């Protein structure tokens, strides 16, 4: 089972248009609003950008709860 780094942070991706950058921005917004340290936010962003679209989605699932 996948361990989520910030399971208390919930991101609703149903309003996103499927663009990887829009999804990443939504996650960063929620991480900031929930008090994640800037170091962790930067780590998430770098990991999210280090691959293709599929990797970006997999990264989201490792960091936050998606609904």
Per-residue model confidence (pLDDT) at position 28: 98
Q: Indicate the domain borders of the chain.
A: 6-66
CA–CA distance, 13 with 54 (Å, rounded to integer): 15
Pair of tokens at residue 15: 């309003």
Is residue 3 over pLDDT 80? yes
Per-residue model confidence (pLDDT) at position 14: 87
Report the run of H or E that residue 38 belongs to, with start and end.
helix 38-48
Per-residue model confidence (pLDDT) at position 1: 65
Q: What is the per-residue pLDDT across 10-59, written as a single tens digit (0 to 9) for each?
A: 999 887 778 899 999 999 999 999 999 999 999 999 999 999 999 999 99
Compute the C-alpha angle 57/6/65, nearest 5°.
Answer: 50
**The model's pTM:** 0.91
């Amino acid at each position: 089972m996948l361990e989520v780094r910030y399971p208390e942070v919930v991101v609703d991706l149903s309003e996103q248009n499927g663009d990887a950058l829009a999804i990443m921005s939504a996650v960063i917004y929620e991480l900031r609003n929930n008090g994640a340290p800037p170091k962790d936010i930067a780590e998430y962003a770098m990991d999210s950008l280090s691959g293709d679209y599929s990797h970006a989605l997999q990264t989201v699932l490792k960091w936050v709860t998606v609904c």
